[in-house]
Amino acid sequence: MNRKEIKPYAECNVLIVDDEPMSRMLLESILESVFTCATAESGEEAISYCEANLPDLVLLDMNMPDINGLDVCTALKASPETNHIPVIFVTSTMDIESENACWEVGASDFVMKPVNASTLTHRIKTHLQNKLRTEFLEMMTFHDQLTGLYNRTYLTKEIPLLIKQVARDKGTVGAIMIDIDYFKLFNDTYGHLEGDICLQKVAQIVSDTVKRPKDAVIRFGGEEFLVVLPYIDHQGTKLVAQQLVEAVANASIPHGKGIESRVSISAGFAVWKATDVVEDDVAALIEDADISLFEAKELGRNQAKG
């Protein structure tokens, strides 16, 4: 999603789940001119699709032979990756018990068969508007406006939740503190506008290098970045830190007063048991990584230490 705009309906992915081919075809014919549509013919296929593709909304038949719609919705709402996806049930029978069951499993709405095309389209639009606005507000709240990376608010509000999950799984967490070398000299030489462009380029390189879905890249402040890596050991964290240093150097962003006349970074890393991070606070892990960053800078910059 663009940092400044809510995406249009035509780019919203609606997953239609129904075991009857004619029903799928009918629903798709109603919706395909307004939304991007995908289909699944079973509950199992629907869950797999949602985990892999994260649709914007699911239109779900309640009665299916393998996994019924209520169980599919329950599974989607139980997963942190898919629980934000609105689910609208499509059903031919709706008594009070079934209606209550829809709400209890976390459905956003339901429509009756045979569907009214206009009503269905407008209900989907309403739920998509709510979802997209929520995502947009979260993006504005949790993202740095210059670089698009996560910000300090995300670090204080969301990262502790992630670390608690890793602690429950008895895993470890890595942190990498990054500092752009001689950035003040860069600003003094090229001006603050070019400095902002440099920050954006480095942020993009770091983001492209850190690839796992649960990894978080945060603009910590000024020219400093923080990478949080759940479920990783010391060797893995060291490898990522070295890859980051090499990726920025290989980008060859000109810096007349930098190392080898190009922009470089220094990185310090630390790896803790997640239970220790929960006990001592994430700030202690960051401080440990920061000490290693200081060592990297003292030893000549353009390197990773930890």
Residues recognised as catalytic: 223
Which H or E run includes 207?
Answer: helix 192-209
In sequence order, which residues have a C-beta less than 8 Å from that of residue 176 and are 6 or more positions away? 226, 227, 229, 237, 240, 241, 244, 267, 268, 269, 289, 304, 306
Cα separation, 113 vs 146, in Å, equals 48
In sequence order, which residues have a C-beta less than 8 Å from that of residue 133 and are 6 or more positions away? 6
Cα separation, 173 vs 126, in Å, equals 39
| DSSP helix/strand/coil, 37 | strand
Q: In residues, how long is the chain?
A: 306
In sequence order, which residues have a C-beta less than 8 Å from that of residue 159 and are 6 or more positions away? 216, 218, 228, 282
The dihedral sign for the CA sequence 283, 284, 285, 286: positive
Backbone angles phi, psi at 2, to 5 degrees: -60, 145
Cα separation, 56 vs 123, in Å, equals 14
CA dist 256 → 67, 186, 203 (Å): 63, 8, 20
